[in-house]
Structures are given as C-alpha cells and as structure tokens.
Amino acid sequence: MIGILSQSGNRVAYGVCAWAFSLCLGLCGCSIPKAFVPPGTLPYQDIAATYHSASIKQSSTLDVLRTMQTQQGLLNPKHVGRELINQSDTLVASSGQSKNKQKHWFTLFSFDEQSMTTNRKYFMCLDEKTLVTPSEPQKPLFLPRKTLVFNSQLVVTDLANQDFDSEQARDIALLESIARNLRSDITTFDASTRVSANGNHIMTSIGLYMNTVFQQALRELDRSPYLANNLGHQGLVFDHMILNKGRIQMILQGDILVSRVEMGLPM
C-alpha cells in the first residue's frame, strides 16, 4: 500500500513558503493569481482533465481512450513518473504518479454493455504532500498535508426510481451504491487486466483508502441517520483514522448520481 508519510522539515519549509507567498501578496496589495502552482508539481486540474472531459451516457470507449492519450501527452514530463492506460471489455483506466512518487492518481470508466457509452466514471488522487487546495488552487495551504480527493458520476436509474421511507434512507442507499460500484469495478478491472497492468497497484491502493472512507462515513450515518440531510448541501463532515477530517457531497441529477469527497483538507 502507498505509505503514510510523517511530518518533516520539508513539510514545514514548503508550508512556510506557501504561507509567505500568500501573505506577501496581501500586504503588497497585489491580487492572488488564479492558481498557485508550486515548482515541480502537477496541477490537480491537469491530471483530472480526462475525468472532466468525458460525459456520462455520451462518451464512448474510443472517445475516452483518445482523450486519455491526449491528456497524458500534455502533462509536464519533468514531473510525471510512470503512466499507464489499460482496458478490459467494459472498463478503461489510466493511472499515474509524480516523478517524486508523492502524488498518485487514477481515472476509471465503466461502459454500458449495450450502448458502450460511459455509465460510471471515477477520479481519485492521493497526494502525500498537498500544497494547495485542489478545488481552490489560489489558496496555498499553511503546511503540506496528506490528502485524498475523489470524484464520481454514476447512472443509478433503479435507485432514482425506487420508493424509500425517507430522503435520508434514499441518500444512504445512494452513498452505499457509490462504495459498492467502486469496489466492484476496481476488483473486476484488476482481475481482467492482471497480466498486462503492472500499475494496477496504484488503483488498488487508492481504492483501499476510499473503502475505509466510505466505511467510516456509513458508520457515522448508521449512528446518526439525520446527518444524511447534509450530503446534498454543505456536505457530510466526519473523522478518519488516517486522513483526519473529510467531507462527502452528493447530489442526484435525474438518474445521474454526482459525488465529491475531500479528505485531509480544510473543512
């Protein structure tokens, strides 16, 4: 499994630089740039580009593969380590890591067997030393920290049309479906591409982290079901044994379930 890094002098040095950069801009009356990109790093929006480019119910296998190859070619080769693209009958994935092996990510797509268009997509990034908030790259963090970011979109037609006793019960069932489908898709992909996919360990490792995240969130909802009301608004905030606090946000748009998880970032 990808290791857990402890606090070090490098963390403090990076953090102080980021904080000083932000403070200097404020004191000098300068505007903060659209995105603060620390030297030697890969911007979150670049490694997540394939996920955001593909459309649920529209993008085909060929569309996704073409986008993956294009986006990987656009990443700065000075900062990128090993990258892999693999596919099975109904799944396509790309995985990669930074050259310093501090940032690991993967994008996974599932396709409907009949239409062969995307019916599930996931993006996950585990960063051992995050220096900026991925969703707000103009905000440097005071100290580097271990973080995990997860995005997903799933077609959930059956659940969307199902009757539940309450909205809380529905939202808990929807969250369970994300965890269940992610676990199943990773397991299926790993088994079907084992011969050629030397980099599947990245997907498996981050998938294990996400499994603990969903387990912890669902335990929280089991104790206090009313907290499910927060999923579609400010998000469900909960504690995690490794990544400190996390937040899950989830919304159902027709029969498409959209979710975002941020772990280890300021709440």
The Cα–Cα gap between 198 and 103 comes to: 18
- Say if CB 199 and CB 105 are below 8 A apart: no
Q: Which residues contact 171 (CB under 8 A, 6 or more apart)?
A: 228, 229, 231, 232, 250
Task: Give pLDDT tens digits for 210-241.
Answer: 999 999 999 999 999 999 999 987 899 999 88
Q: Show pLDDT as tens, one digit a residue, over the chain (267 residues).
A: 444 333 344 443 444 344 343 434 343 444 434 444 554 567 778 888 999 999 999 999 999 999 998 887 777 666 666 667 888 889 999 988 888 888 899 999 999 999 999 999 999 999 988 887 777 766 777 778 889 999 999 999 999 999 999 999 999 999 999 999 999 999 988 877 664 444 567 888 888 989 999 999 999 999 999 999 999 878 999 998 888 899 999 999 999 999 999 998 887
- Say if CB 91 and CB 184 are below 8 A apart: no
Q: b/e map of 90-113 (b: 16 or more CB within 10 Å)?
A: bbbbbbbbbeeebbbbbbbbbbee
Residue 56 DSSP one-character state: T
Domain coordinates of the chain in residue numbers?
9-263
Residue 7 DSSP one-character state: P
Structure tokens at 8: 């070090």
Residue 121: C-alpha distances to residues 92, 106, 133, 195 (Å): 10, 11, 22, 23
- Say if CB 203 and CB 173 are below 8 A apart: no
Ramachandran angles phi, psi of 39, nearest 5°? -55, 140
Count the Cβ atoms, other than its own, within 10 Å of residue 218.
Answer: 16
pTM over 0.75: yes
3-state secondary structure of 90: coil
Q: What's the longest Cα–Cα distance across the chain?
A: 59
For residue 38, the model assigns a pLDDT of 52
Rounded to the nearest 10°, the torsion over CA 195, 198, 203, 206 is 130
- Say if CB 57 and CB 155 are below 8 A apart: yes
- Stated as kind and residue range, the H or E segment containing 221 is helix 200-223
